[in-house]
Structure 1
Amino acid sequence: MSAAPTLGMHGAREQGLAASTGWRAGVDTLDRWLGRLTELPAAGLVLADIVVLLAGVVSRYVFHSPLVWSDELAGIMFLWMSMLGAVVALRRGEHMRMTAFVAKASPDTRAFLDVLALAASLAFLLLVAHPAFEYASEEAIVVTPALEISNAWRASALPVGVGLMVLVSLLRLLRVSTAGRTLAALVLVGVLCGAFWWMAPMLVPLGKLNLLIFFGGVVGACVFAGVPIAFSFALATFGFLALTTKTPMLVLVGRMDEGMSHLILLAVPLFVFLGLLIEMTGMAKAMVQFLASLLGHVRGGLSYVLIGGMYLVSGISGSKAADMAAIAPVLFPEMKKRGARPGDLVALLSTTGAQTETIPPSIVLITIGSVTGVSIAALFTGGLVPGLVLGVALCTVVWWRYRHEDLSGVERASGRAIGKAFVYALPAVALPFVIRAAVVEGVATATEVSTIGIAYSVLAGLLLYRQFDVKRLLPMLIETAALSGAIIFIIGAATGMAWGLTQSGFAHDLAAAMEAMPGGKAGFIAVSVVAFLVLGSVLEGIPAIVLFGPLMFPIARAVGVHEVHYAMVVVLAMGLGLFAPPFGVGYYAACAIGKVDPVEGIRPIWGYLVALMVGLVLVAAVPWFSTGFLGK
């Protein structure tokens, strides 16, 4: 008699398990289709932008007949690519976030925080969905000047992107966690949002204290809890404007649109794709092999090659992780054969990432030019020597550490071998210098020269290096869209936040406080170094510079600091913070690329960090390093 209920219960359990499996399979299928729906158009838009911009360059410089509509069409496609790329990045979990504290939590806590980050992102997307639709509707009456079409074709990217991100967030919540954990995260976020809404009448009389509550407390709590940085900024800004001001929320959407639509930012996806091309076609490997033939027989020679290789390829990809991934696999195996410790290798790899932050064509420099109005050509000119100063500082540490290296088993490359390696690498070595020279000399804009670099790399890969895997093009285009979308969405969120800070009067108060500081220019630069060291470790370079660049650069000009010099100081300070453990996420990216336990690199990295700090102080104290080649 007891067997029947047991069988019934067992059958019910199997039926429930089958239903659950079928439900999960349905969610997975929907997720895959959504991936195709977003990834393929995003990749197509990257390719279309490249083609349109390259056509504009050829038409202007070859046929002397500019296409008046090319920039406008590229701008429309760029916003769509950025929003779809942000969707792809959210689906892949690739939006920038600070994980230093999350990674140290217990597995259960970490899993809950990951779900909480998704729930917080979903909360902002739901809150901004209607204002985004309202903003696109109002833009419908605006007619674009060149194509003479409704601006709704461009602005519709915002509500469509937000809607797709809502769907992606819901699917990820269903796929990556248990029902109980998901419900707990959603309830917690809902309760917190409800509590802030209920407290609105009490917040308004607090005045500027709300800046500390929202832009200090809310942003800090979100960032340290692992909420993507873009959504942390956006949530705090939405809450501040909605609960303490009478600003319509479509104004926030408009500011985000403005931040994401700067034409100069078109260079971001193009340089990202160019960096991937350089790796795929073997150009990066050719550069490194030439340097290795030249210096491989010297004590610490391969470490010098690592520093030089990063100097050559840095900044082109838009991702320090991509730069490091192009160099490390070529050098690390041989360096390990010579007895180098894995911890020392990853420490040097990480600090070369910080050293090369100012090397053009750096995406951070392009972003500074976009948000502050500083000349891109001047920034590209000013960035070379500061990077060299820090490189020399790192080389000094390498010389000291490897001065007793045993090279008895290392053969010196013959002059013939060096010459052969140089000829083979020349097309690759020339590309970074051609790109920098073209922008610096005013021959082409950063956007134009990136398309020329892409065409050059394709031809070099096909005709010279004979390494061009067509099957990799689609994944590379999708990766470009995802990384660019994550970067541009951060810029949009940070632009909205910076606007909110400015409207609150914070910018004026900050300027007054900084101008009144003792020490004049030196005091201002010293405080800026400390501030951007901290910001770099928490926010990374791009969101930090978009948020604080418009506030700090006018103050720098007011106290007499050259804007290019100031840009180099803050970029290097942020780079140092980005790659310094225990908070710097760049350090952990280097460990992942080098496949080294982060603990192994902690001790050896401090010597390199001290060298970088000395170099940073030299750059800050001697403006000539940044401005000596700018001319009058």
Structure 2
Amino acid sequence: MRTETLKDVDDALEQQTSATVHHTTKTMPRWLSRLDFALGLIVSVPAAVLVLAEIVLLFSGVIARYVLHHPLIWSDELAAILFLWLAMTGAATALHRGSHMRMTALVNRMGEHWDPFWDTISLVASMLFLGLILVPSIAYIRQQWDILTPTMEINDGLRVAAIIFGVVSMLLICVVKLLAIGAKTAITGIAVSLVTVFALEHAGPVLQSLGNLNLVIFFVGVVGFTVLSGMPIAFSFGLSVFAYLSLSTSMPLEIVVSRMDEGMSQILLLAVPMFIFLGLLIEMTGMARAMINFLASLLGHVRGGLSYVLVGAMYLISGISGSKAADMAAVAPILFPEMKKRGENPGELVALLSATGAQTETVPPSIVLITIGSVTGVSISALFTGGLLPGLVLAFMLCLLVWWRARKFEPTSSTGAAWSLVGKAFVISIPALALPVVIRMAVVEGVATATEVSTVGIAYAVVAGLLVYRCFSWKRIGPMLVETAALSGAILVIIGTATAMAWALTQSGFSHGLANFMQHLPGGAFTFMVVSIFMFIILGSVLEGIPAIVLFGPLLFPIARAVGIHEVQYAMVVILSMGLGLFSPPFGVGYYGACAVSKISPNLGIRPIMGYMTALFIGIAVIAAVPWISTGFLKS
């Protein structure tokens, strides 16, 4: 197997970063290229500084509370303020680098000569969303201006100003990109977009008379078209919400901004950038190479060996951060480089990563389990106990599919490594293998919260890289911080716009109508369970786990009890069904999060993910049919 020196890796990363950052400048006039470069610095430098500031702030909170026994009562508050700025500057950085999640499979089939046209449509639609959100954002800042934070007494408008900065920056970046496209193509794309907007605007009175049929028009039709036309997923979700509210309701549009703020500002999500940076750090310090060498010595001669490792790794670390995106960010950067070297298809990798994200939704300590217990009254300890075996059942189903798909391919080595080499690789990898143990123990022992624990891992990785593996490059820290901010921003802005979409669905009365329909289904427990599975798969792709649970849990769990379904079993089926929807393209937000974390195009995973989702669906059906899987270990 080919090995790379640290210098080779450094150079490759710098070349990749440079190529990514300046990919839009190659065909630009000189003055436009300079403007593009300046915009890149304006958004990426603050984003990198904010990532570093959050790391230092959270780790200082751990030291102050656990070591010095003098907690920083203001640290969480400041971290929350900086977090929204990180999300928005990161989103702008991702747009400048072209790293927002897009679905371009359909557009690519039309031929290269159509690319400029669809790029223009995507840019104009993105600018339309950004333009629509700008005025409500100003109104939202005015609403928040008189609100002071409880501890530091900082004006909340300063935090919300991040939205204005991000929106204006992204608008300017879109304008630069549009100017770089040929005039004829740009004019054509703008004209088509304006005609579409004009037609929808004049259809407003008709749309307002359609009631909840507008949910299909905007959240299926508009989202489906914009996603498949190559528009960034986050902007597609946001545009559909704005179109729905402005054309078919009389609700104030600043509500969309407040919902986006709520979705992006959940302090638990701060684990996402922290774990993304930890994953990059593990790779840079040589810890990833040590772990992979040991795992390869054990399973390198087995067909699909590292795929089994991926399934097991996601099961073991799931729930540490409370965020699936953070869990994936902790695993993918470690395993994927080596798996690619071994000839694995990138589409297969991101498909399996998405599937493992759905598979581990019930593994405690899961924030979804805690939420479902809180809103339905089901014992959280019972949910924790009942969630372990369903995750293993789905892991078994995925491993069966991995075995089936890998049977045609020869492993890298036909014979296993000598036990002396396995032992040597194990000794070398001990400091790296101890990292997940350190992270989990830090949470269990109360050293750090789920949000802070990644910084404990970062500190551990820095020490291990400097003193143990002696593989640490200071010049890579800057590009890694920028990369972290861009990936985080791309993920967080999707979560923000998806939260706004979930709120719009709630306000439409759709949830109560659906619960009423479920209550009057014929066929008893069997029909109710079957319909629940399909319903929550669909809801999971639109609402994500927690909003759907909060919305439908209190309504549907009493019905499940009434028809004789054990509440813990129903919880497992509901959570896993939502996970299946959450990680299923084209609407599942989790799938695009997996693509962002692994830096693999969404197009590549569409075909292979269908098999993994089918395996998960069969596993969910087994869990629904066999109550013991969820309830067998509960105390009677």
What TM-score do you get using the length of structure 1 for normalisation? Answer: 0.81
1:179-578 alignment to 2 at 5 Å? Answer: 179-297=183-301, 301=305, 304-305=308-309, 307-308=311-312, 318=326, 323-324=331-332, 326-331=334-339, 333=341, 347=348, 350-351=351-352, 353-359=354-360, 385-397=389-401, 410-439=414-443, 444-518=448-522, 522-530=526-534, 544-545=544-545, 548-560=548-560, 561-562=567-568, 565-566=572-573, 568-570=575-577, 572-574=579-581, 577-578=584-585
Aligned to 1:150: 155
Residue 132 (1) aligns with residue 140 (2): no
Shift of 1:425: 1.6
Aligned to 1:167: 172
Q: Is the 8 A contact 2:287 2:432 kept in 1?
A: yes
After superposition, the Cα gap between the structure-2 partners of 1:275 and 1:192, relative to the gap in structure 1 and judged at 3 Å, is: same
**One-letter amino acid of the structure 2 residue matched with residue 174 of structure 1:** L
Shift of 1:441: 6.6
After superposition, the Cα gap between the structure-2 partners of 1:479 and 1:535, relative to the gap in structure 1 and judged at 3 Å, is: farther
- SS at the partner of 1:446? coil
Aligned to 1:7: none
1:32-71 alignment to 2 at 5 Å? Answer: 32-71=37-76
Residue 89 (1) aligns with residue 90 (2): no
After superposition, the Cα gap between the structure-2 partners of 1:268 and 1:376, relative to the gap in structure 1 and judged at 3 Å, is: farther
Q: Superposition RMSD on alpha carbons, in Å?
A: 4.2
- Tell me the alpha carbon deviations over residues 424-466 of structure 1, each in whole angstroms, 9 at most, x when there is no partner: 2222223224434544676542102122122112212222222
Q: Is the 8 A contact 2:84 2:265 kept in 1?
A: yes
**One-letter amino acid of the structure 2 residue matched with residue 39 of structure 1:** S
After superposition, the Cα gap between the structure-2 partners of 1:98 and 1:137, relative to the gap in structure 1 and judged at 3 Å, is: same
Measure, in 1, the Cα distance between the counterparts of 2:227 and 2:88: 22
After superposition, the Cα gap between the structure-2 partners of 1:98 and 1:68, relative to the gap in structure 1 and judged at 3 Å, is: same
After superposition, the Cα gap between the structure-2 partners of 1:350 and 1:494, relative to the gap in structure 1 and judged at 3 Å, is: closer
Q: Is the 8 A contact 1:306 1:349 kept in 2?
A: no
Bigger mean CA deviation after superposition, 70-79 or 416-425: 416-425
Measure, in 1, the Cα distance between the counterparts of 2:141 and 2:609: 49
- SS at the partner of 2:91? helix
Match of 1:109 among 114, 118, 121: 114
- SS at the partner of 1:326? helix
After superposition, the Cα gap between the structure-2 partners of 1:60 and 1:133, relative to the gap in structure 1 and judged at 3 Å, is: same
Match of 1:617 among 618, 621, 627: 621
Shift of 1:88: 1.0
> How many residues get paired?
596
Shift of 1:395: 3.8
After superposition, the Cα gap between the structure-2 partners of 1:303 and 1:490, relative to the gap in structure 1 and judged at 3 Å, is: closer
Measure, in 1, the Cα distance between the counterparts of 2:517 and 2:451: 37
Measure, in 2, the Cα distance between the counterparts of 1:438 and 1:382: 24
Measure, in 2, the Cα distance between the counterparts of 1:586 and 1:256: 17
Shift of 1:126: 0.9
Q: Is the 8 A contact 1:349 1:590 kept in 2?
A: no
After superposition, the Cα gap between the structure-2 partners of 1:552 and 1:284, relative to the gap in structure 1 and judged at 3 Å, is: farther
- SS at the partner of 1:101? helix
Bigger mean CA deviation after superposition, 272-281 or 141-150: 272-281
Measure, in 1, the Cα distance between the counterparts of 2:102 and 2:407: 40
**Aligned sequence identity (%):** 47
Look at both structures and tell me which one has the larger radius of gyration over its CA atoms. 1
Shift of 1:42: 0.4
Measure, in 1, the Cα distance between the counterparts of 2:633 and 2:126: 45
After superposition, the Cα gap between the structure-2 partners of 1:367 and 1:26, relative to the gap in structure 1 and judged at 3 Å, is: farther
- SS at the partner of 2:451? helix
Aligned to 1:10: none
Measure, in 1, the Cα distance between the counterparts of 2:337 and 2:301: 20
Aligned to 2:33: 28
**One-letter amino acid of the structure 1 residue matched with residue 275 of structure 2:** F
- SS at the partner of 1:108? helix
Shift of 1:367: 7.9
Bigger mean CA deviation after superposition, 307-316 or 104-113: 307-316
**One-letter amino acid of the structure 2 residue matched with residue 45 of structure 1:** L
Measure, in 1, the Cα distance between the counterparts of 2:450 and 2:633: 19
Shift of 1:45: 0.4
Shift of 1:281: 2.0
Measure, in 2, the Cα distance between the counterparts of 1:133 and 1:124: 15
Q: Is the 8 A contact 2:55 2:455 kept in 1?
A: yes
Measure, in 2, the Cα distance between the counterparts of 1:158 and 1:128: 9
After superposition, the Cα gap between the structure-2 partners of 1:483 and 1:400, relative to the gap in structure 1 and judged at 3 Å, is: closer
Q: Is the 8 A contact 1:354 1:579 kept in 2?
A: no
- Tell me the alpha carbon deviations over residues 192-250 of structure 1, each in whole angstroms, 9 at most, x when there is no partner: 22222222233323322322322232222222222222222211211222233222222
- Tell me the alpha carbon deviations over residues 296-322 of structure 1, each in whole angstroms, 9 at most, x when there is no partner: 455765664565466567888738588
Measure, in 1, the Cα distance between the counterparts of 2:633 and 2:42: 48
Measure, in 2, the Cα distance between the counterparts of 1:524 and 1:117: 41
Measure, in 1, the Cα distance between the counterparts of 2:595 and 2:119: 18
After superposition, the Cα gap between the structure-2 partners of 1:544 and 1:188, relative to the gap in structure 1 and judged at 3 Å, is: farther
Q: Is the 8 A contact 1:324 1:353 kept in 2?
A: no
What TM-score do you get using the length of structure 2 for normalisation? Answer: 0.80
Q: Is the 8 A contact 1:383 1:568 kept in 2?
A: no
After superposition, the Cα gap between the structure-2 partners of 1:357 and 1:116, relative to the gap in structure 1 and judged at 3 Å, is: same
Q: Is the 8 A contact 1:56 1:66 kept in 2?
A: yes
Q: Is the 8 A contact 1:564 1:626 kept in 2?
A: no
1:71-82 alignment to 2 at 5 Å? Answer: 71-82=76-87
Aligned to 2:14: none
Shift of 1:31: 0.6
**One-letter amino acid of the structure 2 residue matched with residue 573 of structure 1:** L
5+ residue gaps, structure 2? 1-24, 561-566
- SS at the partner of 2:326? coil
Shift of 1:85: 0.7
After superposition, the Cα gap between the structure-2 partners of 1:90 and 1:619, relative to the gap in structure 1 and judged at 3 Å, is: farther
Q: Is the 8 A contact 1:38 1:88 kept in 2?
A: yes
After superposition, the Cα gap between the structure-2 partners of 1:212 and 1:143, relative to the gap in structure 1 and judged at 3 Å, is: same
- SS at the partner of 2:584? helix
After superposition, the Cα gap between the structure-2 partners of 1:24 and 1:319, relative to the gap in structure 1 and judged at 3 Å, is: farther
**One-letter amino acid of the structure 2 residue matched with residue 351 of structure 1:** L
Shift of 1:71: 0.6
**One-letter amino acid of the structure 1 residue matched with residue 439 of structure 2:** I
